[in-house]
């Protein structure tokens, strides 16, 4: 990775220099430096230190017409909003991410470049101040990548996965920086790739499946998702992997049962579960790939194996009798699959719609089976405290369990 280089210095306005000065003071507070150290420098030195202002990051498609215009506009808007509210540093000295990568990075660049001049003509007090700053403030390379770029890269990773569809087109991004007139800015180029397919014959039926892949992310290249074979077959070597595929039926069932999320969050949840998280759950009778949130299962993908390929063929809810949670549930309650479907327990909305305080027997069963932890994990993903309780559904479920208690 190349070091960011600012070859041309633009003339910052007085207002911009004052803003850069204010941001630099907050940076000092964050790095446990006395902000008064800045006032040691002469007017000419300050003009140099506050002269460089980076532009805000630019988001564009790597190739024209490969990303829908609407997607690009929405991603730009969301990134800008995120950078304006995301904070860096201690509370009393907190900077927005926008301030950090424009004025903050500009000051760091100026200070780094001035250091190379060895402070020729500076007074002993100014040299001492510069040395104190150098010991505390990170090197410019780390400041740019480790502090400024990583939050932006992580958020872009989230956004590109939100807009990707496993069975159609996947988006990624490249991350670098570029000269913009007389200034510098971060450059984010969105990339796209169509999904590869493969035909599989299972139980006499031939169906198409989609290859699950890692998308391009910042400085990493795209590639096929793989599952270690020893997660499923303990005698397999650590160097052996399955290529991961998913059929349309599994995607339809996933959409149907993970019904509390909108399309973008569902896309993100799916890709993270199939690539980055990959929780394999082994039971006495079956092995699953779990869909998780905060390490809590929300449901399970079933699969079959052919040669070096692992194919996900459906998605089952937590209450299915074959899952670890579902097995306990059916042992504790006298009902079957038809009952769970009738009550809506096969969908995640069940855990947000029902007021379980009115049905203590059901709440206790969900706690005993471990499903309650999943309900709490679902609630952590919500961006609002507004209640989703459906009193009509609650009463339907309550009447059902009242009959169980009476029996």
Residue 289 to residue 281: CA distance in whole angstroms: 6
The pLDDT of residue 11: 64
- Phi/psi for 186 (5° steps) reads -75, 140
Which pairs from 267-274 meet CB under 8 Å and 24+ separation? 267/161, 267/162, 267/163, 267/164, 267/165, 267/166, 268/158, 268/161, 268/162, 269/293, 269/298, 270/166, 271/161, 271/164, 271/166, 271/212, 271/215, 272/161, 274/166, 274/212, 274/225, 274/244, 274/246, 274/312
Tokens at 22, concatenated: 């204010």
Q: What is the pLDDT of residue 388?
A: 82
Low-confidence ranges of the chain (pLDDT < 50): 1, 7-9
Element (H, E) at 315: strand 309-316
pLDDT of residue 99: 95
Q: Quick: pLDDT tens for 203-246.
A: 999 999 999 999 999 878 899 999 999 999 989 999 999 999 99
- Cα separation of 402 and 404, whole Å? 5
Tokens at 58, concatenated: 């630019």
pTM of the predicted structure, to 2 decimals: 0.87
pLDDT of residue 135: 87
Residues ≥6 apart with Cβ < 8 Å to 300: 281, 288, 289, 290, 291, 315, 316, 318, 320, 323
Give backbone dihedrals phi and psi of 60, rounded to 5 degrees, phi first. -145, 165
pLDDT of 117 reads: 61
> CB neighbours (10 Å) of residue 334?
9
| Structure confidence at residue 261 (pLDDT) | 92
pLDDT at 137: 83
3-state secondary structure of 3: coil
What sections of 31-123 are H helices per DSSP? 43-49, 69-85, 97-99, 105-115
Scored b (16 or more CB within 10 A) or e, 171-185 reads bbbbbebeebeebbb
The pLDDT assigned to 386 comes to 65
> What's the maximum distance between 2 C-alpha atoms anywhere in the chain?
93
Q: Which of 302, 293, 256, 257 is nearest to 273 (CA)?
A: 293
The backbone torsions φ and ψ at residue 150, rounded to the nearest 5 degrees and listed phi first, read -60, -45
In this prediction, residue 8 carries a pLDDT of: 44
């Amino acid at each position: 990775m190349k070091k960011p280089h600012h070859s041309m210095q633009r003339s910052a306005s007085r207002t911009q220099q004052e803003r850069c000065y204010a941001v630099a003071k907050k940076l000092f507070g964050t790095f446990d430096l006395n902000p008064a150290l800045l006032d040691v420098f002469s007017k000419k030195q300050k003009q140099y230190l506050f002269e460089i202002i980076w532009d805000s990051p630019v988001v564009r498609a790597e190739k024209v017409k490969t990303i829908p215009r609407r997607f690009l506009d929405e991603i730009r808007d969301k990134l800008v909003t995120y950078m304006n509210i995301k904070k860096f540093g201690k509370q009393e000295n907190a900077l927005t991410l926008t301030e950090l990568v424009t004025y903050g990075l500009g000051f760091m660049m100026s200070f780094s470049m001035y250091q190379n001049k060895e402070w020729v003509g500076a007074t002993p007090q100014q040299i001492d101040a510069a040395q104190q700053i150098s010991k505390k403030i990170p090197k410019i390379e780390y400041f740019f990548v480790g502090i400024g770029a990583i939050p932006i890269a992580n958020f872009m990773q989230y956004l590109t996965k939100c807009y990707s569809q496993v069975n159609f087109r996947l988006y990624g991004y490249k991350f670098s920086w570029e000269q913009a007139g007389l200034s510098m800015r971060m450059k984010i180029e969105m990339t796209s790739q169509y999904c590869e397919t493969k035909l599989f014959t299972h139980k006499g039926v031939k169906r198409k499946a989609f290859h699950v892949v890692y998308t391009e992310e910042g400085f990493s290249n795209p590639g096929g998702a793989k599952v270690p074979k020893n997660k499923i077959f303990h005698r397999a070597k650590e160097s052996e992997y399955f290529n991961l595929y998913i059929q349309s039926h599994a995607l339809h069932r996933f959409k149907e049962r993970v019904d509390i999320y909108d399309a973008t969050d569902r896309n993100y949840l799916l890709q993270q579960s199939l690539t980055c998280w990959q929780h394999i759950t082994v039971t006495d009778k079956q092995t699953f790939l779990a869909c998780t949130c905060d390490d809590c299962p929300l449901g399970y993908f079933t699969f079959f194996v052919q040669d070096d390929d692992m194919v996900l063929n459906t998605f089952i809810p937590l209450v299915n009798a074959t899952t670890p949670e579902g097995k306990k549930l059916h042992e504790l309650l006298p009902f079957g699959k038809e009952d769970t479907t009738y009550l809506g327990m096969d969908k995640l909305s069940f855990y947000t719609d029902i007021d379980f305080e009115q049905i203590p027997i059901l709440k206790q069963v969900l706690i005993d089976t471990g499903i309650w932890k999943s309900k709490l994990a679902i609630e952590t993903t919500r961006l609002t405290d507004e209640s989703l309780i459906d009193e009509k559904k609650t009463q339907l479920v309550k009447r059902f369990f009242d009959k169980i208690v009476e029996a």
